[in-house]
Each structure stands twice: as structure tokens, then as C-alpha cells.
Amino acid sequence: MTDSGFEPNDASTPPPPPPPVARKRRLHTGALAGTAVAVVLAAGIGLGHVAWSTGSPSVAASGASSSTSTGSGSTSTGSNSSSTGSGSTEVSSIAAKVDPGLVDIDTTLGYDEEEAAGTGIVLTSNGEILTNNHVIDGATSISVTDVGNGKTYSASVVGYDTTKDVAVLQLHDASGLQTTSLDTSSVSVGETVVGIGNAGGTGGTPSAAGGTVTALDQSITASDEGDGSSEQLSGLIETNADIQAGDSGGSLVNTAGQVVGMDTAASAGYSFQSTGESSGYAGYAIPIGEAITLAKEIEAGSSSSTVHIGTTAFLGVEIDAAADGFGNASSGATVAGVITGSPAQQAGLAAGDVITSVNGQSVADASALTGALEPDKPGETVTVGWTNASGATQTATVTLSSGPPQ
């Protein structure tokens, strides 16, 4: 993002790419799944998950129309400047109110041999952090730098909801942090907003870009061209503020410097499902009220079919997306590789095996394998059944270890 006043992007011009970064540095834009890896992670199972990346992802959006009447999926173009009751408001002055309550999040994706960067919002003075789940997905270590005091902390995952893309972190040995001011009331189409975050993953003073709310209650579906998988999020705020790589987990704020949404996704080219009309750049944010509601559930330890609390149980297998669910002769999750020293390796699983059951429950594909393991905790045992490359059926009792969040 750039400090360019409240001028929104030209609808015909995609946002500029993020600045060059080190090789194997993954920046979390929240631009849903634009780049695929050949082997994808079955959540909580192993390595190789799909990146949320820059580029031109295939994103279809639908939802409530805005004030401009161009069809059921119309959007507002916004304005070139912001005017409130007290006059013009500058992006930098609004951002200065919010910056001290944000953090830069840097993660190591050890099993992918990559690094990643994103943003977080400080919820409590002792270091409770709100961010996107995809910012910490696959992280084997998490380092967080508080913008307000400049100190860097290690962090642990309190919990996450993959379906809503919300996660809560806890910084270690943190105190006296400055928090953000939240506005959980509804925003309006045409309202001036500023998107703030760790654009480019460069750290330091967050970048900020002004724009307007162009639509509400938006649903987006982003497809991974590599394996056909997709992510769906709904109820989102749409904005023409220039949300870029590294901004995920950052704040979308109003002119009073209050957080109204958490920056989550961006697209350089998408179309509304309801009209098929092509549109220009758009950024998306989760309404802060919804994110806070989920954060409170996570804080309370209220696990569910979608909310995971604490550390993630780890089997340690790569799942072959090309074989899994695409013409595989045997129903199951096809193993592409096994992590050295993992429970899967100790049990005798190997590349080419097809996992067919967990605790007697049939496993049809990677998704089913994830679901079967979700209730389990590190240290618990499960019985895994599989068919090896020669067609022989095998079973083993496996003690799950602790792994990265999904």
C-alpha cells in the first residue's frame, strides 16, 4: 500500500505488485490461492499447503449490491478524497492512531522450507493478537514484532477457525502493549476507510492506503488452478483501498481511527457470480465484530467442528493432490511423502501408500483424513489403515505428535 490520500484505484488498473522480497519468502495478501504447489497439505497432517499469494487468482464474488445501480453485483467507485464534518482527513493521521496497536508477524514454514509474513491486531495489553488463520497456516515457529514498542516476541497459537480465516495468538512475556480501538457497528457503502498493514513484509511503520467501502456482505470463492481446491468466505466488507501482500491480519479503519474490519483478501481481477461482469481491483476484510466474536470463542476454549483450540495433532504425511480424488483407483488419501522422524514414518507409511481409514472410520480423500484427525490431540493414539504400493492392506497404532497449525 502507498500513502496516496483517499484516492481509490482506477477500476481498469490492477494494484502495483509488492516490492521484491527474498526467495522463498511468502507474503500473505489474503489473495486467495493464486499460486499452487504440486503437493498440498491436508490440514494438520503434513507439509506443502497451498499458498495465499499475489498474482491474479481466480476469484468470484457475490453479495449485497452497493449504491451504484449497475446490476445485482454492482459496486461503488468511491471518491478521490475524503470529507468529514470537520473537513478533509489525511490517511497518515488516521494510520498514526492505529499503528501502535498493530504487530508484524513473521513465520517459519519449516516443512516447506519457506518463510511468511503478515500482520496482527493487538487485543490485550498482555499480547493477545488477532490475525488471519492463513497468516499462521503451516508455521513451525512464529515471531511477532509489536509496532508500538518495537520489541519482538515469540508466540503460540491459542486457536483458529479455518472456515472463517480467524486465528488468535498469545505473545510470550508481553505486557503494557497498546491496543486498538474497535468499532463493531456496521459500516456503510461509500464510507471512507483506510487499510493498514505490513505491506511487502518489510516491517517497521505499517503502510496505509485510503479508499471507500464499495460493497457489504460479500462472498468470495477463490480457486486453486493447481489442484482445483477452493476457499469460500462470506459476509465480507469490500473496499477499493489498496490492500497488498503482507497486509493480511491488518486493520481496515474508519476516519476516527477505529478498526472496522480485518484485512483478509485482495484480487487484481474478479467477477461477480450474479452478473459475470468484469471488475477491477478489490480488497476484502472480515467485519471486526464477527472476528471478535470468534476470538472470544477461541479465548474461552470453545472448540467445535470448525474451531480448533491449542496445538495441532500431526501425522506427518504429504498428500498427493494429483492422485487424491482425481481418478485414484482406491478411495483414500494418497501419500506423496513422509516427514523424517514423524509418527507416519515410525508407523511404516511411505510414498505411494493410500490411507483408507483412521480408527476404523473410512477415509475417502485428504479432506476426510483431516476431519478424522481433527478431534485428536498431540500425544493421543490413533489406528491408521492403508494400502501399500503392492496392494497389501496394513494397519498401525500411531502416537500423534505436535505440528503446525493448519
The pTM of the whole model exceeds 0.85: no
Q: What angle do CA 197, 161, 49 make, to 5 degrees?
A: 75
Report the 10 Å Cβ neighbour count for 291. 29
State the pLDDT at residue 216.
96
Is residue 134 annotated as part of the catalytic site, yes or no? yes
Residues 6+ apart with CB under 8 A from 237: 187, 213, 215, 216, 218, 252, 260, 261, 284, 285, 286, 287
- Total domain count, the chain: 2
Mean pLDDT of the chain: 75
In a shared domain, residues 184 and 271: yes
Q: Would you state the pLDDT for residue 347?
A: 92
Determine the average pLDDT of the residues in 276-298. 83
334-338 average pLDDT score: 89
Q: Which of 66, 76, 82, 134 is catalytic?
A: 134
Average pLDDT, stretch 141-160? 97
> Does any domain span residue 304?
no
What gap in Å lies between CA 21 and CA 80, rounded to an integer?
31
Name the band, by pLDDT with cuts 50, 70 and 90, for residue 275.
Answer: very low
Tens of pLDDT, residues 380-396: 999 999 999 889 999 99
Q: Which residues of 112-151 are buried (b: 16+ CB within 10 A; e: fewer)?
A: bebbbbbbbbbbeeebbbbbbbbbbbbbeebbbbbbbeee
Higher pLDDT, 133 or 1: 133
* Residue 165 annotated among the catalytic residues of the structure: yes
pLDDT digit string, tens, across residues 242-256:
988 889 999 999 999
Residue carrying the nine cell digits 488463520: 133
Q: Are residues 63 and 84 in the same domain?
A: yes
Q: What is the pLDDT of residues 134-144, one digit of tens each?
A: 899 889 999 99
Catalytic residue among 104, 106, 165, 376: 165
Flag whether 6 is in a domain. Answer: no
Indicate whether 306 belongs to any domain: no
CA distance 366 to 41: 8
| Predicted pLDDT of residue 98 | 97
Q: How many CA atoms lie within 13 A of 267 on its CB side?
A: 23
Ranked by mean pLDDT, the top range of 35-49, 169-183, 339-353 is 169-183
Identify how many contiguous H helices and E strands the chain contains and give both numbers.
Answer: 5, 27
Does the pLDDT value for residue 290 go beyond 90? yes
**pLDDT: which is higher, 30 or 376:** 376
Cα 110 versus chain centre, distance: 18
Full residue range of the structural domain in which residue 154 is found = 25-299
Q: Is 268 in a helix, a strand, or coil?
A: coil
User: Quick one: pLDDT at residue 326?
Assistant: 45
CATH at residue 316: 2.30.42.10
Is residue 248 annotated as a catalytic residue, yes or no?
yes
- Residue 2 belongs to some domain of the structure: no
Q: Are strands 207-223 and 230-239 parallel, antiparallel or unpaired?
A: antiparallel
Residue 376 scores a pLDDT above 90: no
389 inside domain: yes
From 74, 76, 207, 248, active-site residue: 248
| Chosen domain end from 277, 299, 321 | 299
* Residue 372 backbone class (left: φ over 0; alpha: ψ -120 to 50; beta: rest): alpha
Using an 8 Å Cβ cutoff, are 80 and 65 in contact? no
DSSP character string of 317-330: EEE-TTTTTTT-SS
Residues 117 and 148 grouped into a single domain: yes
Tens digits of residue pLDDT in 41-62:
222 333 322 233 222 223 344 4
